[in-house]
């Protein structure tokens, strides 16, 4: 069960309202790398986790992320405080409010007009948060790696936001939030490596003949190799022919159909067959400009007579 | 700040696993009328609310909804418990697992294959939760009405789910959750009517000449009137002509353009003008079947000669 | 059946083009509180409504909202008229067009480049309209409350837009549209209260022992109570322990599994067990900077030997 | 199988960084008319196409579109190159970076803060690409028409982008990409008209009595007719009454229900009936301001007594 | 302005309720090829169209599509009528209702539980309608082609639905709707070819050297050529080298940076450089199973010593 | 530049059509952990990567994932081959086709009806692919971790799919695809650890006082600790009071407003103040059923008189 205390985890001191900066901060409120995504990623894992230690950790961190959501939300709200009053009570000089709304040079207009200078669950472009951001799949050796990566990404976005403001109170609170992502990453790393083995994730082993092959699919310039594709741990395949049909087969797709299905497919094929033997008049030619026709090789010899309604083709 | 206790707000006792029922329960976990939507609706309002009493109430109820999210999530997880083990550890008889995955007759296949029989933030059709469900706009006389409506909807969806199961533990927990929506609706009603006046919402009054008019836009059968459109509080307008241009104007849209803009628009109009004076050959006629042509009046007299490449039309 | 008349319901007179303002107006064309959302909310209710009076009202108002969609669309189009010509016909001085496209300080660039200065079904941030905005669930005592709330929200967004412009023709048309939301709210209120009883919505009663309880979930500061949580109609629960397991149970979740399922779950648990007894080397430690290591307590004593490939852990 | 060569299909020479222009270019990278949409439209058709010639063409063009995705992506990346370094390494004067991030006047802030000045799969408003843009339905006579239309749209968006920049290298590369859309449209036109007949698409013929009727649904002003609705190929129906129930029936919807279903529907209807005979007190009236009440006809005579709790209505 | 008449454009006679079939019909109510998409495609074009004839046609057809939305919505509602009553009023035998809800074998469960057996704006998979389906871009020579394609797709989906039911009333109404798509396609074709020239769409001509080139990007098997890529109208390029850098340049991307930007990029490059000269211990190796290690060539010689916290690398 | 060869990377041999299985396979075609997501994750990183070795690797793997997209797409298409013909050509016994369409027990109905038994870019629930799945942010030490996690997830989903089928050809091809995810994960691991240091990601160090703190936010039961939250590397904070205001401040949010802003906010607060001193009549009470009233404590003493229109409150 969740409980709430009215004090924030970290005190928020904002020097002055700035709706444009508020809008950028939304990135970590309702954005893909933000706190709701973090909280929900760990919460959904916690709820279905059977290992008691991991479950406890996941609830600990999910709950902290909810508290961070509240901190970043309060930063947004404080930065928007001036705009909120102006918007709610109206002003006489409309041109002035129009300039204020659109003057930040980013999407703060949407925050203000649609959301009343509040703290909506969108990213800084106004895109509503979606659970498509959540990559929980219910296997801990995969989910913990997802968590490690998510913390790394969140750390970076906080770093970028810190670089954007010189409000000392905002900077300080963001620094706290950024640091906590580092701490969380460390916890998830420990939890992952406490499962042994954890690679490859899951239960099925791979097929040995393909597990250490590196397909050199991008060619045509200098090849820069490293431990990721060369050395005695890798078998590199650069020959284009050997990159296809690697099972030794034809590289074709096939299915065994019964007679009825085959017949229907043939009927469809016949009905929709492209006849390569004619050069039909087309809609593009019907509508072609002289300029275009002039640059079209052979256009003056437009082949096939347009079909006459009333006859079968 | 949020805190978490490992006990649930309500004890969840599930009789036996049932992935199909688990999938239906997702409606209130990650669906539009579900608990995350509720929690986030009130949380976003709480964060930017300035009235201390309302803010307190919004945090109270947001926090309880998070606790409900946990309860419904646990119901889903328990109903999926059997599927989770089978899926993670594999089985020998694949046909059997295939039948189990697809046998529920609903979307439990997605929950199982993609989410590992966990509790994803989707509705029962597998659609990811989106903040587009959240209708917070930052004006309390509107937001409280949104909350009242949201509680009413959530109550109904719980009622439907209760009718779907005969597992007594599930029924009982759903009954608790449903009842809480009723209690929350009562709180929001009290909070709304504690603001006086609260209608119309916001600050601007409407234009009196249009505020009590009822436009009878759907006609052609028996008119059933009620207090919503008749009586001395309403002026009903049924005459089609009086429903248009109700300002007394032409009902046309206009803008004053400067000469440059006007010229460019004229150029565009000229370039893209539809010439109504000819009956051009078209792509449809090029490709028309005999059967279609036969049923096309006048098709045999297809007018205009197809354009000749190399000439201007 | 729908019919259309070329006259608008309200005459639109725009003083001069203004793509930035056009973009803000999109909020009520393709935004969540806009006219398409309104029209479709009521239309989907009307189609499945069995009560003839309500059905008639819902069609009346849905049809009027479609007519409002047309009015607001025409405002957008008129405000964009100058941009449309410039865009379609091109200009010689590209820098100039670039400045015009990006100069409004909001998302009018998307409207212009992608939609040709037309009237797309997006909100003012360019987010495409989604039926996730529609909260129709097919129970009139809930749907009518949703409609009341939706009208309140739409009224507020119009109010904000009115405050943003000093174009008298735009102001006047927006005032009409805003007023109609007031009128519609009044109709929906009458229709709701014409159903008796209408609270709680639906058919099932709540469980009396939980219907008047207020859980004080947010604590830690001054408690401001009101009619929404105090007085003789409420039983307030502030003791954290009494907020958990409110059914008197353990507050745990359980399910009865058969032996096969239990065995598989145990196998999964064993495979993915986190071993709390070791302090494993982790990826974070592999990649840790000296600066980070220095601030990590105990980092110099990194416990467990990294696993040796070739041996089982 | 796909292969990659490190050379681009077209050389990209950008004069100087310009994050605002980079952001506009995203329209054709991750926007609805952009190159990923094109590549995936044709790829999904190719994979399931049975006609060998068409399949080959679809793979040819899908592959070229992927190569175009790479070209436009490189344009974006080069235009963002300066921003990328500043963002990754931070700067001392935060105000400066804030101004740079928000100064473009469009959504380049999202590209920079969230995506690190890279090339994300969003349109120029930051809306993530969605497969909802893809209209492949698996019938070649429809899909080829979709392709023709898609190429036409993509051509136009390139044209608009060309008009926005005076960087000669960008202009030149965009000109190449635009021209290729023209070439692709020509190929798809030929492929469509090589299927005979191709109209109407699919297999079922339409019902002759409705296939050449034009319903004049928008009336009330001058009627401008053309070959699309007049002439001997069309039968125009302008009489409103003849536009309804065109099958000669009542224009009503009906279903045959068994007795049980009918009874339940009656029960629902009774439970949710709107009583038109009373004028109930409503929530709006409870909260009405004096100003609103004053302009409400008959408001002083608010009819029905509010219901007394404890009695049934 | 829109008006509504209570009679449908086509009488709907459903033989018996069938929620599974209702669910499939949603494809044309709230699906991508459905009637709302059609109505909104044409409506958004109509509102910003300047050519009076085309504008009139677009309003005519948009209005008819709204009337079709009503017809298909009524089919859905009638097919769901039995389910609606059962759901709203509850039943005693829950197992029975559960079987009814999940027995259709498709997504009718979502329609019933979430939408109360109404007619929601989703497709048959429960995915909410999105304006991302709308491809209006504001240039008539592109938009009319989009309309032609959209009508072709809608015709096909109706054809598939007709094949799925043997309810004669449903079949008949679907036949009407399908036929109207044919008629609309014919109108849009006429309107397109009434603009001359209409190819290439827009104003800018393509670059002649690339407008008739066909890049043979998919090779390796029999080449089946047709009028779409061969003949005297096409110059086919099959040589892989000639498909790259087709402008004669290097096929590389470049931008001119000033010294400051270059320095920052170098700093970033140095900070994030991958060192190819070492074979580092990795997280995968830390967690590798014995089985995996055994199949990893060279794994026993795991190169580089894991880094020691406290030292700089 | 991309090139295509008609041979697949792996030969696809399907024993017999099975639309239900085809639908499940979509998970890896257009699902969040599928091949398009993989290809686009690496492609977007490659395009903006400056390190030549990493860029080469990213293009190699992105290109291979596109080739996998083709393999899995061919599996889907082959499994759907029978359905495709039946659907396109229609059958006489509609009931039969209806049963076939809905008989799979999953969402294959959408694949068949809407997409013509092709291979759409949706997951197995029919949800369109979205770039919201892509978590590229342009910092290699974060992006490589995202790639590692993504490969882990994809491996698991393939494992689940393998367990679902006994078609040996499908099983074999899926085994190949699954194994390649393992190989890719190994490459990304090597590339990550070739950057030193790589933790914490990015440039800014965390704040030391918060980097090794573990907040025990979930309490109330047995605490299971491990290396993730205990030992000499962690400082654990369990005292609730010390979890709040961890900066030593009040835990409150504040902003400095100028006098004008403060005045407007006060005006708004006054206008929207909730009056806790009265117990107003509410909408819920207006509509309350007798049953509900009876269980409402104090309901018979409904306090405040409903407001009288015409007087100011």
Residues of C in contact with B72 (CB under 8 A): none
Summarize pLDDT for E143-175 with one digit per residue, the tens: 999 999 999 999 999 999 999 999 999 999 999
Residues of C in contact with A127 (CB under 8 A): 125, 127
Q: Determine the residue of chain C that is closest to D215 in CA distance.
A: C3
Does the CB of A161 have a partner CB in chain D at under 8 Å?
A: yes
Residues of E in contact with F101 (CB under 8 A): 24, 106, 164
What is the predicted pLDDT for the residue at A93? 67
Summarize pLDDT for B218-235 with one digit per residue, the tens: 999 888 899 999 999 999
What is the predicted pLDDT for the residue at B291? 76
What is the predicted pLDDT for the residue at A311? 28
Given the DSSP bridges, would you call strands D235-237 and A218-219 parallel, antiparallel or unpaired? unpaired
The answer to whether F121 and F30 are in contact (CB under 8 A) is: yes
Rounded to the nearest angstrom, the minimum Cα separation between E295 and chain D is 27
Statement: residue D312 has pLDDT above 50: no
- Maximum Cα interatomic distance, chain A, rounded to a whole number of Å: 82
Residues of F in contact with A75 (CB under 8 A): 253
Rounded to the nearest angstrom, the minimum Cα separation between A246 and chain B is 26
CA separation for the pair B275, A235 (Å, rounded): 66
- A183 preceded by a cis bond (ω within 30 of 0): no
Query: What proportion of chain C, given as a percentage, has pLDDT over 90?
Result: 82
Q: Determine the residue of chain E that is closest to D255 in CA distance.
A: E14
| pLDDT classification of A92: cutoffs 50, 70, 90 | low
Helix (H, G, I), strand (E, B) or coil at A13: strand
* Residue that is written with structure tokens 């009874």 in the block: D263
- E197 preceded by a cis bond (ω within 30 of 0): yes
CA separation for the pair D108, D100 (Å, rounded): 10
What is the predicted pLDDT for the residue at D90? 86
What is the predicted pLDDT for the residue at D303? 39
Summarize pLDDT for C146-182 with one digit per residue, the tens: 999 999 999 999 999 999 999 999 999 999 999 999 9
CA separation for the pair D178, D183 (Å, rounded): 9
Does the CB of D268 have a partner CB in chain F at under 8 Å?
A: no
Q: Can you give the residue ranges of every domain in chain D?
A: 19-193
Residues of F in contact with B191 (CB under 8 A): 274
Summarize pLDDT for A37-57 with one digit per residue, the tens: 999 999 999 999 999 999 999
* End-to-end Cα, chain F, rounded Å: 72
Summarize pLDDT for B153-171 with one digit per residue, the tens: 999 999 999 999 999 999 9
- Over residues D288-300, the mean pLDDT reads 70
- Would the CB atoms of A15 and F256 count as touching at under 8 Å? yes
Percent helix / strand / coil, chain D, rounded to 5: 50, 5, 40
Smallest Cβ distance to C199: which of F195, F224, F292?
Answer: F292
Residues of A in contact with C280 (CB under 8 A): 190, 193-194, 196
Q: 3.40.640.10, 1.20.1260.10, 3.40.1010.10, 1.10.3210.10: which CATH number matches F19-193?
A: 1.20.1260.10
Smallest Cβ distance to E212: which of A228, A287, A296?
Answer: A296
Statement: residue B47 has pLDDT above 50: yes
- Would the CB atoms of D107 and A125 count as touching at under 8 Å? yes
Summarize pLDDT for A241-256 with one digit per residue, the tens: 999 999 999 999 999 9
Statement: residue D279 has pLDDT above 90: yes
Rounded to the nearest angstrom, the minimum Cα separation between A62 and chain E is 24
Query: What proportion of chain B, given as a percentage, has pLDDT over 90?
Result: 82
- Over residues B5-34, the mean pLDDT reads 97
Beta bridge partners of D13: E254
What separation in angstroms does the CA of D127 have from each of A28, A267, C108, C110?
17, 42, 14, 11
The continuous run of DSSP H or E covering F5 comes out as strand F2-5
Summarize pLDDT for F193-251 with one digit per residue, the tens: 999 999 999 999 999 999 999 999 999 988 889 999 999 999 999 999 999 999 999 99
Summarize pLDDT for D1-57 with one digit per residue, the tens: 999 999 999 999 999 999 999 999 999 999 999 999 999 999 999 999 999 999 999
What is the predicted pLDDT for the residue at C294? 74
Q: Determine the residue of chain E that is closest to C135 in CA distance.
A: E115
Task: Tell how far CA C17 is from the center of its chain.
Answer: 31
Rounded to the nearest angstrom, the minimum Cα separation between C61 and chain F is 22
| pLDDT classification of A91: cutoffs 50, 70, 90 | low
Statement: residue E29 has pLDDT above 90: yes
Summarize pLDDT for E201-212 with one digit per residue, the tens: 999 999 999 999
Does the CB of D31 have a partner CB in chain C at under 8 Å?
A: yes
**The 3-state secondary structure of chain C, one letter per residue:** CEEEECCCCCCEEECCCCHHHHHHHCHHHHCCCCHHHHHHHHHHHHHHCCCHHHHHHHHHHHHHHHHHHHHHHHHHHHHCHHHHHHHHHCCCCHHHHHHHHHCCCCCHHHHHHCCCCCCCCECCCCCECEHHHCCCCCCHHHHHHHHHHHHHHHHHHHHHHHCCCCCHHHHHHHHHHHHHHHHHHHHHHHHHHCCCCCECCCCCCCCHHHHCEEECCEECCCCCCCCCCCCCCCEEECCHHHHCCCCCCCCCEEECCCHHHHHHHHHHHHHCCCCCCCCCCCHHHHCECHHHHHCCCCHHHCCCCCCCCCCCC
What is the predicted pLDDT for the residue at A262? 93
- Over residues A265-285, the mean pLDDT reads 92
Summarize pLDDT for B92-125 with one digit per residue, the tens: 566 788 988 998 989 999 999 999 999 999 999 9
What is the predicted pLDDT for the residue at B224? 86
What separation in angstroms does the CA of A65 have from each of A10, A40, E146, F5?
12, 9, 46, 48
What is the predicted pLDDT for the residue at C306? 39
- Would the CB atoms of E227 and A279 count as touching at under 8 Å? yes
Statement: residue B178 has pLDDT above 50: yes
Which among A53, A194, A200, A233 is the top mutation candidate for probing chain C, defined by the most C β-carbons within 10 Å of its own β-carbon?
Answer: A194
Query: What proportion of chain E, given as a percentage, has pLDDT over 70?
Result: 93
Smallest Cβ distance to E196: which of B33, B284, B313?
Answer: B313
- Over residues F258-265, the mean pLDDT reads 92
Statement: residue E189 has pLDDT above 60: yes
- Higher-pLDDT residue of D300, F79: F79
What is the predicted pLDDT for the residue at F310? 33
Summarize pLDDT for E268-307 with one digit per residue, the tens: 999 999 898 889 999 999 998 877 777 666 544 343 443 3
- Would the CB atoms of F292 and C233 count as touching at under 8 Å? no
What is the predicted pLDDT for the residue at B311? 28
CB pairs under 8 A between D and F: 225
- Would the CB atoms of E220 and F113 count as touching at under 8 Å? no
Statement: residue E97 has pLDDT above 70: yes
CA separation for the pair B252, C173 (Å, rounded): 12
Query: Is residue F172 exposed (0-12), middle (13-18) or buried (19+ Cβ within 10 Å)?
Result: middle
Which among C305, C309, C312 is the top mutation candidate for probing chain E, defined by the most E β-carbons within 10 Å of its own β-carbon?
Answer: C309
Which among D42, D110, D121 is the top mutation candidate for probing chain F, defined by the most F β-carbons within 10 Å of its own β-carbon?
Answer: D121
* Residue that is written with structure tokens 């971790």 in the block: F145
Given the DSSP bridges, would you call strands F2-5 and D2-5 parallel, antiparallel or unpaired? antiparallel
Statement: residue D89 has pLDDT above 90: no
Phi, psi at residue C14, to the nearest 5°?
-105, 135
Q: CB neighbours of F238 closer than 8 A, spacing ≥ 6?
A: F216, F219
The answer to whether C190 and B227 are in contact (CB under 8 A) is: yes
What is the predicted pLDDT for the residue at F285? 92
- Would the CB atoms of E50 and B105 count as touching at under 8 Å? no
The answer to whether D83 and D96 are in contact (CB under 8 A) is: no
Which among B170, B251, B274 is the top mutation candidate for probing chain E, defined by the most E β-carbons within 10 Å of its own β-carbon?
Answer: B274
Chains in contact with D, where contact requires at least 3 CB pairs less than 8 Å apart: A, B, C, E, F
- Would the CB atoms of C290 and E310 count as touching at under 8 Å? yes
Among C residues 115-154, those touching chain B with beta carbons less than 8 Å apart? 130, 132-133, 135, 137, 139, 141-142, 145-146, 148-150, 152-153
| pLDDT classification of D298: cutoffs 50, 70, 90 | low
- Over residues A15-39, the mean pLDDT reads 97
What is the predicted pLDDT for the residue at F307? 39
- Would the CB atoms of B2 and A7 count as touching at under 8 Å? no
CB pairs under 8 A between A and D: 144
What is the predicted pLDDT for the residue at E300? 43
Query: What proportion of chain E, given as a percentage, has pLDDT over 90?
Result: 82
- Higher-pLDDT residue of D138, C290: D138
* Residue that is written with structure tokens 């190989």 in the block: F183
Which range (A296-310, B253-267, F98-112, F136-150) has the least confidence? A296-310
- Would the CB atoms of B287 and D193 count as touching at under 8 Å? yes
Summarize pLDDT for C212-259 with one digit per residue, the tens: 999 999 999 888 899 999 999 999 999 999 999 999 999 999 999 999
Does the CB of F254 have a partner CB in chain B at under 8 Å?
A: no
Among C residues 171-200, those touching chain E with beta carbons less than 8 Å apart? none
What is the predicted pLDDT for the residue at F313? 30
Rounded to the nearest angstrom, the minimum Cα separation between C273 and chain D is 36
Mean pLDDT, rounded, of chain E:
91
Query: What proportion of chain A, given as a percentage, has pLDDT over 90?
Result: 82
Summarize pLDDT for F15-40 with one digit per residue, the tens: 999 999 999 999 999 999 999 999 99
Smallest Cβ distance to D196: which of B198, B211, B287?
Answer: B287
CA separation for the pair D49, D136 (Å, rounded): 11
Statement: residue B303 has pLDDT above 50: no
Residues of B in contact with D286 (CB under 8 A): 193, 199
Which range (B78-87, C31-40, C95-104, C121-130) has the least confidence? C95-104
- Would the CB atoms of F296 and C206 count as touching at under 8 Å? no
* Residue that is written with structure tokens 């890719």 in the block: F184
Phi, psi at residue A235, to the nearest 5°?
-110, 110
- Over residues B282-299, the mean pLDDT reads 79
Does the CB of C66 have a partner CB in chain E at under 8 Å?
A: yes
- Would the CB atoms of E182 and D200 count as touching at under 8 Å? yes
| pLDDT classification of A306: cutoffs 50, 70, 90 | very low
CA separation for the pair F244, F263 (Å, rounded): 31
Statement: residue B238 has pLDDT above 80: yes
Mean pLDDT, rounded, of chain B:
91
What is the predicted pLDDT for the residue at E91? 67
CA separation for the pair A78, E255 (Å, rounded): 41
Give, to the nearest 10 degrees, the angle between helix C52-79 and helix C35-48.
160
Statement: residue C310 has pLDDT above 60: no
Q: Which two tokens stand for residue A233?
A: 């741990």
What is the predicted pLDDT for the residue at F95? 77
Residues of F in contact with C212 (CB under 8 A): 295-297
Does the CB of F244 have a partner CB in chain C at under 8 Å?
A: yes
Statement: residue B307 has pLDDT above 60: no
Taking the CA of residue D288 as centre, how many other CA atoms within 13 Å lie in the half-sphere pointing to its CB? 29
CB pairs under 8 A between B and E: 143
The answer to whether E111 and E80 are in contact (CB under 8 A) is: yes
| pLDDT classification of F291: cutoffs 50, 70, 90 | confident
Does the CB of B235 have a partner CB in chain D at under 8 Å?
A: yes
Rounded to the nearest angstrom, the minimum Cα separation between B253 and chain A is 23
CA separation for the pair B89, B97 (Å, rounded): 11
Statement: residue C305 has pLDDT above 50: no
């Amino acid at each position: 069960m969740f409980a709430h205390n009215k004090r924030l985890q970290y005190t928020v001191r904002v020097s002055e309202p700035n709706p444009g900066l508020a809008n950028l901060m939304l990135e970590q409120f309702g954005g893909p790398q933000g706190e709701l995504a973090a909280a929900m990623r760990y919460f959904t894992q916690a709820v279905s986790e059977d290992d008691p230690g991991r479950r406890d950790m996941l609830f600990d961190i999910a709950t902290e992320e909810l508290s961070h959501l509240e901190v970043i939300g309060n930063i947004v709200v404080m930065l928007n405080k001036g705009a909120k009053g102006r918007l709610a009570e109206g002003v006489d000089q409309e041109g002035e409010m129009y300039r204020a709304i659109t003057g930040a040079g980013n999407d703060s207009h949407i925050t203000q007009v649609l959301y009343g200078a509040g703290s909506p669950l969108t990213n800084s472009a106004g895109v509503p948060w979606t659970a498509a951001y959540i990559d929980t799949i219910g296997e801990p050796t995969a989910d913990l790696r997802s968590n490690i990566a998510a913390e790394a990404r969140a750390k970076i976005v906080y770093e970028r936001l810190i670089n954007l403001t010189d409000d000392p109170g905002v900077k300080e609170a963001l620094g706290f939030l950024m640091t906590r992502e580092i701490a969380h990453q460390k916890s998830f790393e420990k939890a992952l490596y406490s499962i042994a083995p954890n690679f490859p994730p899951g239960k099925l082993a791979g097929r040995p003949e393909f597990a250490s092959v590196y397909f050199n699919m991008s060619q045509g310039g200098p090849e820069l190799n490293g431990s990721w594709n060369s050395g005695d741990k890798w078998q590199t395949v650069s020959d284009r022919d050997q990159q296809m049909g690697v099972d030794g087969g034809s590289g074709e797709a096939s299915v065994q159909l019964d007679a009825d299905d085959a017949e229907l497919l043939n009927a469809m094929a016949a009905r929709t067959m492209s006849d390569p033997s004619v050069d039909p008049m087309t809609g593009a030619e019907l509508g072609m400009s002289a300029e275009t026709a002039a640059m079209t090789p052979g256009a003056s010899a437009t082949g096939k007579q347009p079909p006459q309604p009333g006859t079968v083709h």
